[in-house]
Amino acid sequence: MTDFKRISPEQAQALRSQGGVVVDIRDTHSYANGHIAGSSHLDNHSLPDFIAAADLDQPLIVTCYHGHSSQSAAAYLAHQGFSDVYSLDGGFELWRQTYPDQVETGEPT
């Protein structure tokens, strides 16, 4: 049994409107060139601080390029104590096609 669920962009958008948090695990350059509006960049350096500061009960949506790597990351985060973790099917590429108005650019903060 997996500790995360796979969801479509439409389901992810609904979760976002209910306070779900989106984390993007792609490389910094890809994130800067375009990411889901309001998402946070998550990498090995920012991961410990993110986990320490996070609300473990808040829905967490993990995205990558095409929805493959995010599954491993989502499983890892579920094992770190997050109770409601999702992997975005199709990743950022499908999100960009589905919600082009919900994409922004810029370096991670």
- Report whether pLDDT(95) > 60: yes
Q: Is residue 75 part of a domain?
A: yes
pTM of the model as a whole:
0.95
Look at the chain and report how many structural domains it folds into: 1
- Report whether pLDDT(1) > 60: no
- Report whether pLDDT(102) > 70: yes
For residues 45 and 101, give the distance between their C-alpha atoms in angstroms, rounded to a whole number: 29
Q: Is residue 76 part of a domain?
A: yes
- Residues above pLDDT 90, as percent of the chain: 95
State the CATH number of the domain containing residue 81. Answer: 3.40.250.10
Q: Is residue 18 part of a domain?
A: yes
Q: Is residue 9 part of a domain?
A: yes
The reply to whether 64 belongs to the active site is: yes
Which residues, other chains included, contact 60 with Cβ-Cβ below 8 Å and sequence gap of 6+?
A: 20, 21, 23, 54, 74, 77, 82, 84, 85, 86
For residues 30 and 103, give the distance between their C-alpha atoms in angstroms, rounded to a whole number: 12
State the catalytic residue, choosing from 64, 78, 88, 94.
64
Could you tell me the pLDDT band of residue 109, with boundaries at 50, 70 and 90? Answer: confident
Specify the length of the chain in residues: 109
- Report whether pLDDT(38) > 80: yes
Interval 12-29: pLDDT, tens:
999 999 999 999 999 999
Which residues, other chains included, contact 31 with Cβ-Cβ below 8 Å and sequence gap of 6+?
A: 24, 41, 107, 108
Containing domain of residue 76, as a range? 5-104
Q: Is residue 63 part of a domain?
A: yes
For residues 37 and 60, give the distance between their C-alpha atoms in angstroms, rounded to a whole number: 15
Q: Is residue 109 part of a domain?
A: no
Q: Is residue 66 part of a domain?
A: yes
pLDDT at 2 (0 to 100): 60
Which residues, other chains included, contact 13 with Cβ-Cβ below 8 Å and sequence gap of 6+?
A: 99, 102
Q: Is residue 83 part of a domain?
A: yes
Q: State the CB neighbour count (10 A cutoff) for residue 29.
A: 8
